[in-house]
A and B are shown apart, each in its own frame.
Chain A
Amino acid sequence: MTIPILVLRRVVLAAATLLIVSLIVFGMLEVLPGDVASRVLGRDATPEALATLRARLGLDLPAWQRYLDWLGGLLSGDPGVSLVSGRPVLDILAPRIFNTLALAAYAFALYLPLTLLPAMAQALTRDRAPDHALSVLTLVLLSLPDFLLATLFMLAFVVTFPLFPAISLVDQTSGLLEYLHAMTLPAVTLAIVMAVYAVRMLRDNLIEVLESDYVRMAELKGLSRLRVLWRHALPNALVPTLNVTGLNLAYLVGGVVVVERVFSYPGFGSLLVDSLQLRDLPVIEATVMIAAAVYVAANLIADVAAILLNPRLRRG
C-alpha cells in the first residue's frame, strides 16, 4: 500500500472513533433511562421549571433527531448555548482553552529537561548510588496522586515559602509575567507527573543502547562518556520515549482537570468540573468531545509519524 492510502485509512479510523465517542457522550448524558430535565435540575425542582427545561432541550423530539442536531452543531462549530449562563458555549470555551494551551506548553517545556537530565544521570551512574536513589524517587513520585503532589507543592511554595500565589487567576488582561507567575506551580506539577514515566522508560532504553556494539566502538575511539551518551546513545533511545510522550499528551488532557482545580486555574479542566457540578449539559458535552478529540489527534499523529519513519509499517 502506498503511504497516502495508509495515512488516509488512519484518518478515517480516527474520524470513526470520534463519531462513536459522540454517540457514547450523547447517549450517556441525554438518552439514558431517566428524565434528563430532573437529572439536571435535581430532586426538588418544580414541575414548571422541569417543563421549561424540557422545552429548551427539545426533549419532545426523538433522541436520534436531537443527536443529529447536536452533532451538526458541533461540526459546524456551534456547540449550543449554556443552560446556566445562557452564553454560547464557544464563548465560554475559547478563553479556557487558551489558558490550558498556555499551561500545557509551559508544562511541556519543563517536561523535556525533567526527563532527559535524570535519565542521563541514571544511565551514567548505572547500578550505583545515584541511579538507585533516582529510581526510588521516580517510583515514589509515580505513586503520588497528582492532586496530592499539587497540594504538597502548595504547602511548600505558597504556605512555607510564599513565592507563588495560592489562586492562579488570570484573564485576557493579564500580562506575560502574571501568566508565568500563575502557571508555574500547575505546570511544574504536570511536568513532573509526565516526566516520571518517561524517565523510567528512557533510563532502561539508554542502558540497553549503551550495551550495543556501536556504542562500545565509540568508546574505544576514545570519545568522552558524555559525548557518547549525547550523540550516539540518546538519539536511538529516544524513539520509544516518543511513544510515552504521546501517552503523556493524553494524560495531560485528563490531568489538567485535577491540577487546575487545586490551583484554581481558570482553564479547560476546571471548566469541566464546574459544568459537571452545575449539570450544564452543552458545556459538559463540548468539553468531553474536545478532550477525546485531542487524544485521538495525538494518537493519529503518532501513528502517521511511525508510518513515515518506519518503512516496515508501510506493508500493514
Chain B
Amino acid sequence: MPPSSNADRRVGLLPRLALFWRQAPLGMQIGIVILAVHLVVAATGPFWAPYGYSQMRAGMPLSGASWAHPFGTDQLGRDIFSRVVHGGHIVLALALSGTLLGLAAGAVIGLWSGYVGGWIDEVVQRLIEALISIPFLVLALMAIATAGPQWSGNPVLIVLVVALVYAPRIARMARASAVEIATRDHVTVARLRGEGAFSVMRRELLPNATGVLLVEFALRAGYAPVLVGSLGFLGFGLRPPTPEWGLIISENRALLIVSPATVIGPGLALASLVVGLNLFTEGLARILGRTVRLGAQ
C-alpha cells in the first residue's frame, strides 16, 4: 500500500503532481514529456497545421523533405507533415477509446467471473481462452470482415475491434486478481452482510484490483496505436483521405524510392508515441510495485 490517503489529499493538486514527478523514474519522466508533446499536438494541431489534411498541391508533388515540407509531399502534392499533425487526435482517440472500452468490458467480465466462480466461471474462462487463441491481428481482421462492407472505414468499428481484441486479455488478468481478492476477509464480511455480487465487485474487488487494471490499461494502450496503424496499413482501417498514420505509411510505401521522408515522418510519429507510452507504462508498473512485460500479447 502506498502511503497516500488522508494526509495527502489535503495538499493541492499541483504540489502533489510535483512530488509525483520527482519520485518518477527518469524513463517515466521522458515518457511523460513525449506523451505531453503528442497530446498538445493532437489537441491543437488542426488549428496551426500549415496545410489542410486533404489539401492537394500544397507543394510540388514528391518534392522530398524541405523546410517548407519537413516530411515531404505525396503524389497528390499533399503536405505530409500537416497530414501527420491532423492525424494525431484521430490515432489517440481511436486507440484510447478502444482500450478504455476493452478495459471496462474486460474488468466487469473478469471480476464477475472470478468472484462468482462455479460453472459460469468455467464457461467464461473457456470463452476467453478461445478468443485469445486467435492471434489478435487475425481476430481483428475477422471482426472487420464480419461487420461487412457497410461498416468498413467506420471509426466506431475500429474502436469496437480494439475493444474486442483487448477485452479477453484484460478479463483474464482481472479474473486472476478477483480470485485472489475474493479469499480476503473483508470480502467474506461483505458477503455475509448480504451484499449482492455486483455490490461486492464494485466496493470490495474493484478498489483492490485498481493497480492491476491500471497497468493493464497502460500496457494495452501502448500497443493500441500499433494495432490501429496495422489495420490502416493493411487497408482494413479508416478510409482515405483520413490522415491516420498507418494509412499514410501504406499510401506512400510504393514511393519509398522517390521520397522516403513521406514514410519516415508518420513512422516517427507513431514510433515516438509508442515509445512514450511504453516508458510511461514501465514507470507506472515500477511505482505500483508490479512487474510488467512490455509488448506481451
Binding site for B on A (CB under 8 A): 16-18, 20-21, 24-25, 28-29, 32, 34, 39, 42-43, 139-140, 142-148, 151-152, 154-155, 159, 196-197, 200-201, 244, 247, 250-251, 253-255, 257-258, 261-262, 272-273, 276-277, 279, 284, 287-288, 291-292, 295-296, 299
Separation of A296 and B130 alpha carbons in the complex (Å): 9
In the assembled complex, how far is the CB of residue B292 from the closest CB belonging to chain A, in whole angstroms?
Answer: 11
Indicate if the CB atoms of B234 and A261 lie closer than 8 Å: yes
Indicate if the CB atoms of A17 and B142 lie closer than 8 Å: no
- Inside 8 A of B143's CB, which chain A residues have their CB? 28
Indicate if the CB atoms of B278 and A273 lie closer than 8 Å: no
Q: Which of B230, B263, B279 has the most CB of A within 10 A?
A: B230
Q: Looking at the complex, which one of B150, B233, B296 makes contact with A197 (CB distance below 8 Å)? A: B296
Separation of A142 and B295 alpha carbons in the complex (Å): 7
Q: Looking at the complex, which one of A43, A144, A276 makes contact with B271 (CB distance below 8 Å)? A: A144
In the assembled complex, how far is the CB of residue A238 from the closest CB belonging to chain B, in whole angstroms?
Answer: 16
Indicate if the CB atoms of A147 and B230 lie closer than 8 Å: yes
Indicate if the CB atoms of B230 and A258 lie closer than 8 Å: yes
B66 in contact (CB, < 8 A): no
- Inside 8 A of B236's CB, which chain A residues have their CB? 276
- Inside 8 A of B230's CB, which chain A residues have their CB? 145-147, 258
Indicate if the CB atoms of B133 and A18 lie closer than 8 Å: yes
Indicate if the CB atoms of B145 and A284 lie closer than 8 Å: yes
- Inside 8 A of A21's CB, which chain B residues have their CB? 130, 133-134
Indicate if the CB atoms of B133 and A140 lie closer than 8 Å: no
Known contacts: A43-B149, A148-B271. The answer to whether A276 contacts B141 by CB under 8 A is yes
Indicate if the CB atoms of A200 and B229 lie closer than 8 Å: no
B257 in contact (CB, < 8 A): yes
- Inside 8 A of B235's CB, which chain A residues have their CB? 277
In the assembled complex, how far is the CB of residue A209 from the closest CB belonging to chain B, in whole angstroms?
Answer: 16
Q: Told that A17-B126, A295-B133 touch, could you supply 19 new A-B pairs with CB distance under 8 A?
A: A18-B130, A21-B130, A24-B134, A39-B148, A144-B267, A145-B230, A147-B230, A147-B250, A151-B249, A197-B293, A197-B294, A253-B135, A255-B137, A257-B141, A284-B142, A284-B145, A287-B138, A292-B135, A296-B133
Indicate if the CB atoms of B267 and A151 lie closer than 8 Å: yes
In the assembled complex, how far is the CB of residue A229 from the closest CB belonging to chain B, in whole angstroms?
Answer: 23
Separation of A97 and B24 alpha carbons in the complex (Å): 48
CB closest chain-A residue, reference B272: A143
Separation of A16 and B148 alpha carbons in the complex (Å): 29
- Inside 8 A of A273's CB, which chain B residues have their CB? 141, 234
Known contacts: A151-B249, A258-B233. The answer to whether A43 contacts B135 by CB under 8 A is no
- Inside 8 A of B267's CB, which chain A residues have their CB? 144, 148, 151-152
Separation of A272 and B257 alpha carbons in the complex (Å): 28
Q: Looking at the complex, which one of A43, A142, A244, A258 makes contact with B137 (CB distance below 8 Å)? A: A258
- Inside 8 A of B127's CB, which chain A residues have their CB? 20
What are some 26 contacts across the A-B interface (CB < 8 A)? A18-B133, A20-B127, A24-B134, A25-B142, A29-B142, A32-B146, A139-B275, A139-B278, A139-B279, A142-B295, A143-B274, A145-B270, A148-B267, A148-B271, A154-B256, A155-B260, A159-B257, A197-B294, A251-B135, A258-B230, A276-B141, A279-B145, A284-B145, A291-B134, A292-B133, A299-B133
Known contacts: A139-B278, A291-B138, A292-B133. The answer to whether A258 contacts B234 by CB under 8 A is yes
Indicate if the CB atoms of B138 and A272 lie closer than 8 Å: yes
- Inside 8 A of A295's CB, which chain B residues have their CB? 133-135
Within 8 A of A (CB), among B256-297: 256-257, 260, 263-264, 267, 270-271, 274-275, 277-279, 293-297
Q: Which of B137, B150, B271, B274 has the most CB of A within 10 A?
A: B137
Known contacts: A147-B230, A258-B230, A273-B234. The answer to whether A155 contacts B142 by CB under 8 A is no
Separation of A253 and B136 alpha carbons in the complex (Å): 10
- Inside 8 A of A152's CB, which chain B residues have their CB? 264, 267
Indicate if the CB atoms of B145 and A29 lie closer than 8 Å: yes
CB closest chain-A residue, reference B149: A42
Known contacts: A143-B275, A145-B226. The answer to whether A39 contacts B134 by CB under 8 A is no
Separation of A292 and B129 alpha carbons in the complex (Å): 11
Separation of A191 and B243 alpha carbons in the complex (Å): 30
